[in-house]
Amino acid sequence: MPLTKPLSENYDVIIIGGAIMGASTAWFLTEQPDFDGRVLVVDRDMSYENTSTMHANSCMRQQFSTELNVRISQFAADFVKNLRNYMGGDSRVPDLSIQSFGYMYLADTQAFADVLRACQTVQHRAGAATQLMSAEEIKAAYPFYNVDDILLGSINHVDEGYWDAIAVFDWWRRSARERGVEFIENEAVAMTKTAAGDRVQSVTLASGDVVSCGQVVNASGPRATRTSQMAGIVLPVEPRKRYSWVFSAQTPLDRPLPLTIDPSGVHVRENGGGTYQAGAHSDVDPAVDYDDFTMDHAIWQDHVWPVLATRIPQFEAIKVQTEWAGHYAMNTFDHNAIMGAHTEVENFFFLNGFSGHGLQQSPAMGRGTAELLVHGAYQTLDMSEFNYDRIPAGRKIVETAVI
Ligand SMILES: Cc1cc2nc3c(=O)[nH]c(=O)nc-3n(C[C@H](O)[C@H](O)[C@H](O)COP(=O)(O)OP(=O)(O)OC[C@H]3O[C@@H](n4cnc5c(N)ncnc54)[C@H](O)[C@@H]3O)c2cc1C
């Protein structure tokens, strides 16, 4: 049974949300040589069963439209491939790798082909190995695709594909706990601020416990807006439903299927053993209730399956094995991470709005947030572009490569 009561009444850092972002931040705090403060991680459900983290596709890519997002994924790749070294050489830590089947973006319009070309320039500048492919080249490399309507494809086979995010998540929690971070199952329900309103003083938990804090981190995923509201802060993040299906094919493909992003928005990837994983969302994409994980079976039948069978005719005969609905924490302002301290409530830090690419960003985000908490500035990769202050200033960093 997880602990529910905090052992102390005050902490240097309280992290609200202990899934991948909260766990990463906690662990990177323990890596900071100049920090020996008390850290409390509070999570309302330590089974994590309804988190974005547990509902994800678990892939990483270098194909982003901003250089910073490419660099963030490069650190993720390095971290995953060298997990044991990063964890101090601990022999219990597994060797992880990335199954680099690549992401295949398919363009069926000149406008989208131009976007892919512009993205490739950005990605090359940052050192990514993205290749553009004509329809004929795609067909030669992957004969199973129907490319009749395709003008251009974009793929990268270096550090792009599936990785075991849950193994990294587990090791961050385990190691952070061994190094003295406290993880409790409880819910943050309210905060008090100083009379001037410039600092959070304490966090009230559902159990009635009140814990005072030096700094507080909002790592609450799709519930981030609720956590911000406790400090009187408005945040443009909302839960958006994303459906996933794992299916088997009667005639499996003869080579690994890249994570293919069809122009319709449906995506599908290799899942091993003759199975594949597809994802999609409804045409109308409203904010949903925090606890709404119901499936919409019509989406598979009327939309996803027909799209798959058209793009890959071998997928005419397939059988769904499992399916689930999860939530993106969608940043409705510009689909990018929101980080750093609030402009007025100076000890309130954001780690929010990952809009479907947070797993791969978790190593860089946790490291960067730990640096901000301890040093007040980034020490490695400068991620100040993602500061919260861009929102009141109306300064968007639009990420066009959102899946
Ligand atoms: C279908 C799907 C596919 C995805 N695929 C990928 C992918 O391939 N690659 C990728 O990089 N990303 C992917 N993502 C995105 C990724 O899963 C998320 O960006 C990432 O998991 C965000 O982690 P988090 O810790 O911020 O949020 P979450 O995992 O949602 O965790 C938030 C935590 O906060 C806790 N919490 C909330 N409010 C409170 C409170 N008041 N008190 C205490 N605890 C609280 C919750 O219980 C939860 O444990 C996908 C997401 C989905 C839904």
Task: Indicate the domain borders of the chain.
Answer: 10-58+165-235+333-393, 101-161+238-330
Q: What is the mean pLDDT of residues 365-379?
A: 98
**Pairwise CA distance, residues 65 & 332, whole Å:** 17
In which band, very low, low, confident or very high, does the pLDDT at 135 lie, cut at 50, 70 and 90?
Answer: very high
pLDDT of residue 330: 97
pLDDT of residue 72: 98
Confirm if 369 and 17 have CB atoms less than 8 A apart.
Answer: no
**Residue corresponding to tokens 């990335």:** 98
Name the CA radius of gyration of the chain, rounded.
21
Residue-wise DSSP of 50-102: TSHHHHS--EE-S--SSHHHHHHHHHHHHHHHTHHHHTTT-TTSPP---B---
Residue-wise DSSP of 268-333: EEEEETTEEEEEE--SS--B--TT-----HHHIIIIIHHHHHHHSGGGGSEEEEEEEEEEEEEETT
Q: What is the pLDDT of residues 148-191, one digit of tens each?
A: 999 999 999 999 999 999 999 999 999 999 999 999 999 999 99
CA of 224 to the centre of ligand 1 (A): 10
Q: Is 44's C-beta closer than 6 angstroms to any atom of ligand 1?
A: yes
Q: What is the pLDDT of residues 52-109, one digit of tens each?
A: 999 999 999 999 999 999 999 999 999 999 999 999 999 999 999 999 999 999 999 9
Mutate to test the pocket of ligand 1, among 4, 27, 51 (most ligand atoms within 8 A of CB): 51
Tokens of 133: 């492919």
Q: Is 17's C-beta closer than 6 angstroms to any atom of ligand 1?
A: yes
**Pairwise CA distance, residues 45 & 48, whole Å:** 6
Q: Is 259's C-beta closer than 6 angstroms to any atom of ligand 1?
A: no
Q: What is the mean pLDDT of residues 362-385?
A: 98
Closest atom of ligand 1 to CA, residue 359: 11
Name the phi and psi angles at 127, rounded to 5: 95, 10
**Pairwise CA distance, residues 18 & 23, whole Å:** 5
pLDDT at 310 over 90: yes
pLDDT of residue 401: 73
Q: Is 239's C-beta closer than 6 angstroms to any atom of ligand 1?
A: no
Name the average pLDDT for the chain.
Answer: 97
pLDDT of residue 170: 98
Tokens of 136: 């004929």
- Output the residue whose Cα is nearest ligand 1's atom 37: 220
pLDDT of residue 119: 96
- Output the residue whose Cα is nearest ligand 1's atom 35: 17
108 Cβ contact list (under 8 Å, min separation 6) = 149, 150, 151, 263
pLDDT of residue 1: 86
- Output the residue whose Cα is nearest ligand 1's atom 16: 358
The CATH class of the 101-161+238-330 domain is: alpha beta
10-58+165-235+333-393 matches 101-161+238-330 in fold: no
148 Cβ contact list (under 8 Å, min separation 6) = none
pLDDT of residue 264: 97
Tokens of 6: 């905090």
Rounded to a whole number of angstroms, the distance between the first and last alpha carbons of the chain is 37
Q: Is 280's C-beta closer than 6 angstroms to any atom of ligand 1?
A: no
Exposure on the CB side of residue 80, measured as CA atoms within 13 A: 29
CA of 217 to the centre of ligand 1 (A): 15
- Range 10-58+165-235+333-393 classified under CATH 3.40.50.300: no
pLDDT of residue 266: 98
Q: What is the pLDDT of residues 210-266, one digit of tens each?
A: 999 999 999 999 999 999 999 999 999 999 999 999 999 999 999 999 999 999 999
Q: What is the mean pLDDT of residues 305-331?
A: 98
Q: Is 228's C-beta closer than 6 angstroms to any atom of ligand 1?
A: no
Q: Is 258's C-beta closer than 6 angstroms to any atom of ligand 1?
A: no
Residue-wise DSSP of 215-248: EEEE--GGGHHHHHHTTT----EEEEEEEEEEEE
Q: Is 227's C-beta closer than 6 angstroms to any atom of ligand 1?
A: yes
**Pairwise CA distance, residues 324 & 40, whole Å:** 31
pLDDT of residue 93: 98
pLDDT at 398 over 90: no
Tokens of 182: 């406290």
Q: What is the pTM of this model?
A: 0.98
pLDDT of residue 399: 76
